[in-house]
Structure 1
Amino acid sequence: MAEQHTPRSLIVTLYGAYGRTPDDAPLPVAELIRLLGALGVDAPSVRSSVSRLKRRGLLVPQRTADGAAGYALSAEARQLLDDGDRRIYARPSPQLSDGWVLAVFSVPEAERHKRHLLRSRLGRLGFGTAAPGVWIAPGRLHEETRHTLRRLQLDPYVDLFGGQHLGFEPTARAVTRWWDLESIAAQHREFLAAHEPVLRGWETRTAVPSEEAYRDYLLALDSWRRLPYADPGLPAELLPRDWPGERSADVFAQLHTRLRDAGLGFVQPPVTAG
């Protein structure tokens, strides 16, 4: 299945990669259109996607220093991106000794919409389903889970527990019930099919043109940033021998090292004297 890069997702990825500045300066609308245009997104799609992100409270309209219309990240959006950095760029070395965190929740029928929100959010954090109403994740995700549930004001409905698996079947077999490992592996293989050839192409080049670096990096980041949430990062001994996750993480890490800073030249082109 071909990768899908929606305009809205690409805008979030752009802000995550290049849009967080020490002074929280807004990106001019004209620059958003130029930068997304390099990825094949037309101006009307950029404008409508920005409007949706504004309605969701992720982008805030602001004037730039020279008075142009622009958009800055909201405080919530910046926090989300900062939290995401720990997942997207980290290379954890998970161990069985890390244990597990269990999330058990109970939501009154009158607030059942929050039940769906809880399930959705726990799934997006990388939790698997151990039993009805019982969700499980590697223990190292404990603090991020606490922070996320508190931010969404869902913590009153959830109890968190930490511990070891003491079940009657091997843990390696149990995790195949808790997570759909084949689906996660398929996502890694899809990433590799799209971006490993890109890396191999860059390995044969000496010059790194900034626009090409920007385009290839942003598309790779847009694809990759979902994977560390779909994949909980299980210890190697619990995974199939041909697990593709480590290889896809390595491909992204190499693309990041090779292309991210080179692409900055296209995002912030040098000012020429008039």
Structure 2
Amino acid sequence: MDKQFNTRSMIFTLYGDYIRHYGNAIWIGSLIRLLEEFGHNEQSVRAAISRMNKQGWVQSEKVGNKSYYSLTEDGKARMEEASKRIYKSKSPSWDGKWRMLVYTIPEEKRHLRDELRKELVWSGFGLLSNSCWITPNPLEEQINRLVTKYEIGEYVSFFRSTYEGMSSNEDLVTKCWDIDDVNERYSQFIQEYSQKYVIDKNKIEKGEMSEGSCFVECALLVHQFRKFLFIDPNLPEELLPAKWLGDSASSLFADYYQLLQKPATRFFESVFEMGKIKSENK
């Protein structure tokens, strides 16, 4: 298994695409079984889910002698936000306003500053200048959640404003994000996955692809596309370059996902239900 598909990241993918739609909780045995399909062993799964528990993304519950893990409220909110961006059909429209976040977090709370930076990048904010982040998207809800989560209200100022110069909105985008690099990565995704899509479509039509294989390919597809959440700020179409490939990549992803989804879901359900049945019998 390619090292890029690390255990913790794959668990996030499974929660986002499957587990949260099935009552939000999964027996650790079922999770281990599912991740075996990707080459992850029991030890790495237990270590990864324990780390996610400590980070506040999941919570554990004992039922008899079995451990179940479910998303916390923070975990649910993150999955919901990620899902909206992954499965969007096209770039959002713009209200012409810029959202600006400025913080003055003291040095002794530096760890909070580092965590906040990671969260802002993930949500699509760009760094305009030291401790000043901007986005054209209406992310007020996300900001309020972050301020509450890290208890940093006294250090943060948040504005909604218009850009009056001295350059253009397009120049502002170029300053804050490397959109050309993101576009190039979308080009690479299209090149690689358009070929894989044709090959797998042919296999499925001939009955040469098992449900387990569809599950693996579907999860890896989502996992790979999810990486764009960390580099694509999800800019409105008014601020994107003329030859933007993000929407084409999203269409390819949606078609490929639809091809694999039904057999993949049947495989997931077979493993997930096995954990439920064992639990109910004990």
Indicate the TM-score class for this superposition, using the shorter chain for normalisation: 0.7 to 0.9
Q: 5 Å matches for 1:140-151?
A: 140-151=138-149
- After TM superposition, the structure 1 = structure 2 runs for residues 66-85 of structure 1, keeping only pairs within 5 Å, are 68-85=66-83
2:224 corresponds in structure 1 to: 223
Q: CA deviation at 1:230?
A: 2.4
Q: Given the alignment of the two structures, is residue 114 of structure 1 paired with residue 116 of structure 2, yes or no?
A: no
Aligned to 1:161, the other structure's residue is in SS state: strand
Deviations 1:72-104 (A, max 9, x none): 333432332233322222335433434211111
Deviation (angstroms), 1:67: 5.3
- The total of aligned residue pairs comes to 269
Picking from 180, 183, 203, the partner of 1:182 is: 180
TM-score, normalised by the number of residues in structure 2: 0.82
Residue ranges of structure 1 left out of the alignment (5+ in a row):
none
Aligned to 1:137: 135
| Deviation by residue 1:133-180 (Cα, 9 ceiling, x = unmatched) | 221101323333333333332333221111222212222222111112
The residue aligned with 1:40 is 39
What SS does the corresponding residue of 2:20 show, helix, strand or coil?
coil
* Corresponding letter in the other structure for 2:104: S
Distance, in Å, in 2 between the alignment partners of 1:146 and 1:92 is 26
Q: Match of 1:191, SS? A: helix
The SS at the match of 1:225 is helix
2:156 is aligned to 158
Tell me how far 1:55 sits from its aligned partner.
2.8
Give the secondary-structure state (helix, strand or coil) at the position aligned to 2:248. Answer: helix
Give CA-to-partner distance per residue, 1:179-234, whole Å, 9 cap, x none: 12233234424433443322222333425642122111111111222313421222
With over 3 angstroms needed to count, the CA separation of the structure-2 counterparts of 1:151 and 1:256, relative to structure 1, is: farther
Are 1:118 and 1:154, in contact at CA under 8 Å, matched by a contact in 2?
Answer: no
CA contact (8 A) 1:126 1:137 kept: yes
Change (3 A) 1:102 1:12: same
Q: Identify the residue that residue 234 of structure 2 maps to in structure 1.
A: 233
Q: Is the 8 A contact 1:125 1:230 kept in 2?
A: no
Structure 1 CA distance, aligned partners of 2:192 and 2:152?
Answer: 37
The answer as to whether partners of 1:98 and 1:139 remain within 8 angstroms in 2 is no
Q: Which secondary structure state, in structure 2, belongs to the residue aligned with residue 268 of structure 1?
A: helix
Task: Tell me the C-alpha RMSD between the 2 structures.
Answer: 2.8
Q: Which moved more, 1:260-269 or 1:181-190?
A: 181-190
More helix by share: 2
Task: Kindly provide the amino acid, as one letter, of the partner of residue 94 in structure 1.
Answer: P
Q: Decide which moves more: 127-136 or 107-116.
A: 107-116
Aligned partners of 1:254 and 1:3: how far apart in 2? 26
Structure 2 unaligned spans of 5+: 275-282
- Between stretches 186-195 and 121-130, larger displacement belongs to 186-195
CA distance in 2, matches of 1:194, 1:13: 20
Between the aligned partners of 1:22 and 1:49, the Cα distance in structure 2 is 21
* Mapping for residues 16-55 of structure 1, pairs under 5 Å: 16-21=16-21, 23-24=23-24, 26-55=25-54
Q: Is the 8 A contact 1:100 1:137 kept in 2?
A: yes
User: SS of the counterpart of 2:163?
Assistant: coil
Partner residue, 1:264:
265
Return the TM-score normalized by structure 1: 0.84
Bigger relative contact order, structure 1 or 2 (CA pairs below 8 A, ≥6 apart):
2
1:149–1:253: structure 2 CA closer, same or farther, 3 Å change rule? farther
Structure 2: distance between partners of 1:193 and 1:6: 24
Secondary structure, in 3 states, of the residue corresponding to 1:140? coil
Please tell me the residue identity of whatever aligns with 1:179.
Answer: W
Partner-residue secondary structure (3-state), 1:269: helix
Q: Secondary structure at the match of 1:139?
A: coil
Check the 8 A contact 1:125/1:145 in 2, yes or no. no
> How much has 1:36 moved relative to structure 2?
0.8
